[in-house]
Amino acid sequence: MRITYPHMGNLYIVVRALLLSLGLDVVLPPPTSRRTVELGVRHSPEFACFPFKLNLGNYLEAQESGADTILMAGGVGPCRFGYYAQVQQQILSDLGVDMEMVVLEPPDVSFQEIKDKIRYLVGGLSWWQIFKAVRFAWCKARAVDIVEERLLHLRPRVEDPLLLEKLYRDALQEIDHAGDRKTVQRVVVNYQKKTGKLKKRSVKPLRIGLVGEIFTILEPFANYEMEKRLGLLGVEVNRSIWLSAWINEHLFGGLLRVKYESAHDKELATPYLNSFVGGHGVETVGCTVGFARRDYDGVIQLAPLTCMPEIVAHSVFPALAKDYDIPLLTFYLDEHSGEAGIQTRLEAFLDLAAARSNKKGEQMSGSVFRN
């Protein structure tokens, strides 16, 4: 069994740590690229959402590298993610690609089923060995989030963002290669020390919150490097979704203490959206309210084109913008999105957010603002 899985931001670091600790042979797909998109688009239904196409492209490229088994998460509710595995398995079969799909459904749907799937993958390993592997992977998930959070905070503030980017990439590589939890923790501490020594500019950057569908937020290729674009335009970014928080909520039932700013914002969706609409629709609304209440200068929603939960959430935005007097911008993204159009809309939105902040008496600064 040579097992692979789709890319989603830095999730590959966490999943690889888990699978290798369980003694499995891992085949990591090549980094998502234009070729990945071309493969996925060529063999996917036209109106399938962008993550579906990228995932399929990942599988086909991994199969070229020798993978024969796919590890895939399942899902429930109106979001089409719950149907990915079945449709993709049929597409692969039609293409004559012999790959087994192992789907891990959420534990709250069928805990016994997920236990059976884990046992199928790991064979005779004890549950204690499985627990240690999960604990190690969790340690890396937390480390990745800490490193990313500091990157987002410092990007608009440092004099040399390229050096910051290099330190970030080096830290991710060291976390990926770390063989135990102490080494992971040491990497994080060293990263914090090194970035703390970088020269800072005396600025008060705009603060923008990112909300939306998890894959489009976490996968830089899918969102056209949105966080990096904003940071280099002099903007501090915060997300509604963090990898470790999502793992804690959906796999561990929220049992672990994970501190992040939007932890309880989902509850704020009421009265704007009172029903479960699938995906992260409710979280998008609730976290938008949360960012507005914490006096962020604007909120950007990222979603795949045709994403039903995010379309429902977007329908609430006019009321939110009026009630909280906050600029809101939505990007629906797919393989046809153009970088020039994204950049133009982004700069216009940031000018609007800056004007709003300056009107409130807060003189903002950053490379995006023109005299």
Provide the 10 A C-beta neighbour count for residue 174.
18
| 345 shares a domain with 273 | yes
How far apart are alpha carbons 340 and 144 in whole angstroms? 30
Same domain, 260 and 317: yes
Under 8 Å between Cβ of 57 and 37: yes
Q: Are residues 279 and 320 in the same domain?
A: yes
93-104 mean pLDDT: 94
Nearest to 300 by CA among 370, 237, 369: 237
Same domain, 170 and 110: no
- Say which CATH number the domain at 284 has: 3.40.50.11900
Domain boundary among 144, 168, 200: 200
pLDDT tens digits along 356-365: 888 665 555 5
Contacts of 348 (CB under 8 A, 6+ apart): none
Check residue 369 and give its pLDDT: 43
Mean pLDDT of the chain: 92
Same domain, 23 and 92: yes
Number of domains present in the structure of the chain: 3
Q: The pTM is what?
A: 0.93
Q: Do residues 168 and 301 share a domain?
A: no
The whole-number average pLDDT for the span 100-112 is 79
Can you tell me which residue has the tokens 């609409």?
277
Structure tokens at 150: 């500091």
Q: Give pLDDT tens digits for 290-320.
A: 999 999 999 999 999 999 999 999 999 999 9
Same domain, yes or no: 231 and 309: yes
Please state, in angstroms and rounded to a whole number, the distance separating the CA atoms of residues 115 and 102.
12
Query: What are φ and ψ of residue 14, in 5° steps?
Result: -70, -50
- For residue 3, CA distances in Å to 35, 105, 140 come to 21, 17, 20
240 and 91 share one domain = no
* Residue 306 near residue 108, CB atoms below 8 Å: no
**Closest among 11, 12, 29, 41 to 337, alpha carbons compared:** 41
* Domain harbouring 67, CATH code: 3.40.50
- The per-residue pLDDT for range 12-52, each reduced to its tens digit, is 999 999 999 999 999 999 999 999 999 999 999 999 999 99
Pair of tokens at residue 319 = 């009321």
Kindly list the distances between the CA atom of residue 74 and the CA atoms of 10, 129, 245, 274, 328, in Å, as whole numbers in the listed order.
Answer: 19, 24, 18, 24, 31
Q: For the purposes of burial, counting CB atoms within 10 Å of the CB of 324, is it exposed (0-12), middle (13-18) or buried (19 or more)?
A: middle
Residues 193 and 216 in one domain: no
| Token digits of residue 148 | 């990313």
| Beta bridge partners of residue 109, listed in sequence order | none
Q: Which residues contact 300 (CB under 8 A, 6 or more apart)?
A: 208, 209, 210, 211, 212, 226, 328, 329, 330, 331, 349
Would you tell me how many other CB atoms lie within 10 Å of the CB of residue 93? 12
Burial of 128 (0-12, 13-18, 19+ CB in 10 A): exposed
Is residue 6 located within the same domain as residue 140?
Answer: no
Asked if 59 and 92 count as a contact pair (C-beta separation under 8 A), the reply is yes
* pLDDT tens profile 313-356: 999 999 999 999 999 999 999 999 999 999 999 999 999 999 98
Q: Which residues pair with 299 in a beta bridge?
A: 209, 328
Q: Are residues 219 and 365 in the same domain?
A: yes
User: Do 90 and 185 fall within a single domain?
Assistant: no
Residue 68: Cβ-neighbour burial (10 angstroms; 0-12, 13-18, 19+):
middle
Burial class, 39, CB count within 10 angstroms (exposed 0-12 / middle 13-18 / buried 19+): buried
76-90, 100-114, 205-219: which range is least confident on average? 100-114
Question: What is the chain's length?
Answer: 371
Domain range for 283: 204-371
Last residue within a domain, chosen from 103, 123, 143:
123
Supply φ then ψ for residue 263, to 5 degrees: -55, -40
Averaged pLDDT for residues 268-276: 93
What number is the average pLDDT over the span 120-136? 92
pLDDT, mean of residues 221-245? 96
Give DSSP secondary structure letters for 316-332: THHHHHHHHT--EEEEE
